[in-house]
Amino acid sequence: MNQPFSGFSKLSKEDKINWIADAYFSTPNEAISLLKKYWNSDAKIQKLHDEFIENTITNFYIPLGVAPNFLINGKYNTIPMAIEESSVVAAASKAAKFWSTRGGFKTKVINTEKIGQVHFLYKGDESKLDLFFIQTKAKFFTDTDSITTNMQKRGGGILDIELRDKTNLIDNYYQLHVTFETKDSMGANFINSCLEQFAKTLKEEAQNFDLFSETEKEIEVIMSILSNYVPNCLVRAEVSCPIEDLEEKHIPNPKEFAERFVQAVQIAEVEPYRAVTHNKGIMNGIDAVVIATGNDFRAVEAGVHAYAAHKGQYSSLSHAKIENGIFSFWLEIPLALGTVGGLTSLHPLVKLSLEMLENPSAEELMQFVAVAGLAQNFGALRSLTTSGIQEGHMKMHLNNILNQFEANEEESHEVRKYFKHHVVSHSAVVNYIESLRK
């Protein structure tokens, strides 16, 4: 295609599919039939998915799995996880079971503050702007009354508005830096609506402020938007036990295991190349629960990685120590999540996932998500510091290889039996399937 298609979004879904099939596929009918295979047979569900975004042509599945046996603050939970990577749910379940007999996970929400900013340019005397802000601050609150009433009824609202001078970074650059409490909603719409009203108030009130010169009255708002960096919306998850309790079949020497584990975490604390992969493993658990519960995983990813660098160098999100014979492993991460609003009441599987978690508050969900991240990190580090990661990964990947080679049930059975006692590699599995087929 070397020319734009104007009005594509106005075509019917059927016409969009036909056009794409003709434009890009050597066998258009096959492409059309594949796209339609993934349509939901329930027209109501399909309509819902069609309307989540523009130009929907079909649905793109990822599996929804569950990791049971998560003992959190003394109560058992089953955690829903939406993810395509083969070993993640297995690793979470294994870590959950391991810690369920060693005191379980302990969690705590540290704080829940969200942030938004109005970025603006002001060309003039700073002391006059300070005075203007002091005199106008109450008006920012009253002008957003209609937006904040419902949130206030739920115990949330605007916490504070600050004027921040950023002229050391960019000439004439200032901000309204605003903090919010949004209770069980993630709060993006609420925050952005408040910010856009602040921007209006800012511009209008500047026109009426007698001390401003004509130039000073012309405040230029560049943009108003929430921040996905929420270092004061923090949750902590932790596991700990006496070193000797770490012993099990695969951990014959618990002291050596604990020391290697702590060393591995320390490497991620000081070495960014390792920290990124270490944190990616944490995000395997976090994203899977965030997606299953209808939250915005891109927002969470952006905020978490920014937090991983908050001391000036990208570093591990988790930490471990041995003190007085006790092994402890924990993480603290920022998570802005919601259990009302957004997709939570729209997507049937999100509703189901939330019900599985006994319809948690946003604070409770933060704790489940943090636990899934810590469990995932524990599973990865346990493998990495003992058998290596590939043994478990390749066992889980075996199914993908069998599917790739369209192995029938008998072949799959034979392959699984053989590779219980042999090292799984892509070529070893392919050779074995070929030998069976000879």
Residues near ligand MEV (CB under 6 A) are 85, 277-278, 280-281, 284, 380, 384, 389
Q: What span, in angstroms and rounded, lies between the C-alpha atoms of 129 and 132? A: 5
Q: CB-wise, 281 or 341, nearer to ligand MEV? A: 281
Smallest distance from ligand MEV to CB 259, Å? 18
Active site residue 296: yes
State the catalytic residue, choosing from 13, 49, 85, 411.
85
Q: CB-wise, 13 or 280, nearer to ligand MEV? A: 280
Smallest distance from ligand MEV to CB 208, Å? 57
Active site residue 269: no
Query: Which helix (H) or strand (E) element contains residue 82?
Result: strand 75-82
Q: Which three-class secondary structure string do you get for 281-326?
A: HHHHHHHHHHHHCCCCHHHHHHHHHHHHCCCCCCCCCEEEEEECCE
Active site residue 47: no
Smallest distance from ligand MEV to CB 420, Å? 22
- Per the document, the length of the chain is 438
Smallest distance from ligand MEV to CB 63, Å? 15
Cβ atoms 235, 337 nearer than 8 A = no
Q: CB-wise, 86 or 228, nearer to ligand MEV? A: 86
Cβ atoms 202, 219 nearer than 8 A = yes
Q: CB-wise, 116 or 379, nearer to ligand MEV? A: 379
Nearest-Å Rg of the Cα atoms of the chain is 27
Q: CB-wise, 73 or 277, nearer to ligand MEV? A: 277
Token representation of residue 360:
């948690």
Active site residue 278: no
Nearest 5°: the CA angle 217, 220, 224 is 130
State the catalytic residue, choosing from 181, 196, 296, 364.
296
Task: Name which of 383, 424, 365, 387 is nearest 92 in CA terms.
Answer: 383
Smallest distance from ligand MEV to CB 311, Å? 20
Backbone angles phi, psi at 102, to 5 degrees: -130, 35
Smallest distance from ligand MEV to CB 264, Å? 8
Q: CB-wise, 185 or 377, nearer to ligand MEV? A: 377
Q: Which residue sits closest to ligand MEV, CB atoms considered?
A: 281
State the catalytic residue, choosing from 280, 319, 321, 395.
280
> Would you give the distance in Å from CA 409 to the centre of its chain?
37
State the catalytic residue, choosing from 16, 183, 217, 393.
393
What lies within 8 Å, CB to CB, of 351 at 6+ separation is: 344, 345
Cβ atoms 362, 114 nearer than 8 A = no
Catalytic residues: 85, 280, 296, 393
